[in-house]
Amino acid sequence: MALKVALLGCGVVGSEVVRLMNEQSTELAARIGTPLEIGGIAVRRTGRVRDTGLDPELFTTDAMSLVTRPDIDLVVEVIGGIEPARSLILAAVKAGKSVVTANKALLAEDGEVIHDAARDAGVDIYYEASVAGAIPLLRPLRDSLAGDRINRVLGIVNGTTNYILDRMDALGAGFAESLEEAQALGYAESDPTADVEGFDAAAKAAILARLAFHTPVTAADVHREGITEVTAGDIVSAQAMGCVVKLLAICQRSEDGASVGVRVHPVMLPREHPLANVKEAYNAVFVEAESAGRLMFYGAGAGGSPTASAVLGDVVAIARNRRAGTFAADGDDDSVLAVHPMGETVTRYHVALDVADRPGVLAAVAEVYAANGVSIKNVRQEGHGEDAQLVLVSHQAPDAALARTVEQLRTLDMVRAVASVMRVEAFQH
């Protein structure tokens, strides 16, 4: 009694899923306890002959009929985007099929609807591939840490931006030329907006936050800043502090535990932090949990094979559940926490000011910090005369107070320019 899989989409990831299912059919059957069989593949056009070695009869353009067909057990959705993926997944779930999806956009926008539907129908919805590609991350967050309390998640979840920032750090190159290099090498798309403006990372941050805090979070809740304004000067400033610049997705519980903040923006991170050593287009997610302490998960964030590996891991899991006649209800959102706005999130700022090199500058600057209730952790002057720069790192304070401080610094006579502003992250304790 083979389990029948319907595949929605047969692009880079989908065709790799087919290849792996064929190549490893014996091992997979042994691990599941029953063979897997491809019951059908929905594509936009069946005209093109596909190099899958599969019966052409399996291909169909009628995805809706495929996902509701009585003999189908599992549906694998690798189309991406909101529609028609959402309607297809909901129809599949209502028809009693378990679903594997890699669709971060959909989960970040409409995760609750889909999870509720799956729970009501008593089927599985697994989505390991939606965040950080092949890195086994979501199930560990959901399952292995189910007995723990997660306080913070810091993630490098976008390979394109990590590649660009890594090149800027290694070569002293600017953003524009690093982006061009990334595009030439296939690490960035010709329209890089979703990556460099942080939209992709924000969707993943929403998914991570929901799993980490057992509370509903959507992409709209995520404060988002991209890396387009990161300059070679920022990188140099970071290096002078022993830091590296990374675009992080940060999901953080407030100190009183009553709310969470979720955000994506560039940060300066100390080089001894494990995330600082994540190079090129790799992804990594760093978790701070009450009992487990510091954890990190590292690996390839994208690509056909890694994503297909994650999809297939999910397929095996839900196939085993099917065979056992059970399903793993996704943890209910048992603690509905408020998502607090960015202004209330506690952060630290690194600020570099081009200043007049004369007495009284530091006093004037320090007064602005004090007036906003922000303490200065350390300050140093670099250069002299025309090149004098004052570099300040604050203690933790609400982001709004820090932003206001920077605004007021801009208006000081003695400050010629705000050369660099960036948040600083470190270990929480």
Positions marked catalytic: 204
Instruction: Among 147, 359, 360, 385, indicate the residue that binds a second copy (CB under 8 A).
Output: 147
Q: How far apart are CA 420 and CA 167, in angstroms?
A: 19
In the three-class reduction of DSSP (H, G, I as helix; E, B as strand; rest coil), residue 27 is classed as helix
Q: Should residue 159 be labelled a site residue for a second copy when binding is judged by CB under 8 A?
A: no
Q: Which two tokens stand for residue 242?
A: 């022993």
User: Smallest distance from the beta carbon of 280 to a second copy, in angstroms?
Assistant: 11
Residue closer to a second copy (CB basis): 112 or 197: 112
E strands present in 103-211: 125-126, 150-156
Q: Should residue 69 be labelled a site residue for a second copy when binding is judged by CB under 8 A?
A: no
In the three-class reduction of DSSP (H, G, I as helix; E, B as strand; rest coil), residue 106 is classed as helix
Q: How far apart are CA 302 and CA 292, in angstroms?
A: 27
User: Smallest distance from the beta carbon of 36 to a second copy, in angstroms?
Assistant: 10
DSSP label of 73: -
Binding mask 199-218 for a second copy (x = CB under 8 A): ---------------x----
User: Smallest distance from the beta carbon of 321 to a second copy, in angstroms?
Assistant: 8
Q: How far apart are CA 87 and CA 177, in angstroms?
A: 41
Asked whether 226 and 198 are in contact (CB, 8 A), the reply is yes
E strands present in 36-149: 36-42, 59-60, 74-77, 98-101, 125-126
Instruction: Among 118, 306, 374, 390, indicate the residue that binds a second copy (CB under 8 A).
Output: 306
Q: Which two tokens stand for residue 51?
A: 């190099």
Instruction: Among 143, 189, 344, 407, indicate the residue that binds a second copy (CB under 8 A).
Output: 143
User: Smallest distance from the beta carbon of 335 to a second copy, in angstroms?
Assistant: 7
Residue closer to a second copy (CB basis): 40 or 301: 301
For 400, other C-beta atoms within 10 Å of its C-beta total: 15
Element (H, E) at 200: helix 199-213
Candidates 130-138, 177-185, 232-240, 374-382; binding stretch for a second copy (CB under 8 A): 130-138
Instruction: Among 37, 112, 116, 148, indicate the residue that binds a second copy (CB under 8 A).
Output: 148
Candidates 112-120, 157-165, 321-329, 420-428; binding stretch for a second copy (CB under 8 A): 321-329
Phi, psi of 400 (to 5 degrees): -65, -40
For 387, other C-beta atoms within 10 Å of its C-beta total: 9
Binding mask 323-352 for a second copy (x = CB under 8 A): -xxxxxx-xx-xx-----------------
Residue closer to a second copy (CB basis): 293 or 383: 293
For every residue of 127-189, DSSP letters joined together read: -GGGSSTT---HHIIIIITTTS-EEEEEEE--HHHHHHHHHHHHH---HHHHHHHHHHTTSS-
Q: Which two tokens stand for residue 320?
A: 């085993």
Q: Should residue 298 be labelled a site residue for a second copy when binding is judged by CB under 8 A?
A: yes
Q: How far apart are CA 92 and CA 6, in angstroms?
A: 10
Residue closer to a second copy (CB basis): 22 or 396: 22
Residue closer to a second copy (CB basis): 321 or 405: 321
Q: In whole angstroms, what separates CA 159 from the centre of its chain?
A: 10
Instruction: Among 310, 353, 415, 419, indicate the residue that binds a second copy (CB under 8 A).
Output: 310
E strands present in 157-231: 223-224
Candidates 16-24, 83-91, 375-383, 416-424; binding stretch for a second copy (CB under 8 A): 16-24
Q: How far apart are CA 209 and CA 260, in angstroms?
A: 8
Residue closer to a second copy (CB basis): 279 or 410: 279
User: Smallest distance from the beta carbon of 30 to a second copy, in angstroms?
Assistant: 4
Query: Which parts of this chain interact with a second copy (CB under 8 A)?
Result: 16, 20, 24, 27-28, 30-31, 33, 128, 133-136, 139-140, 143-149, 214, 272, 274, 277-279, 282, 284, 289-300, 303, 305-306, 308-317, 320-321, 324-329, 331-332, 334-335
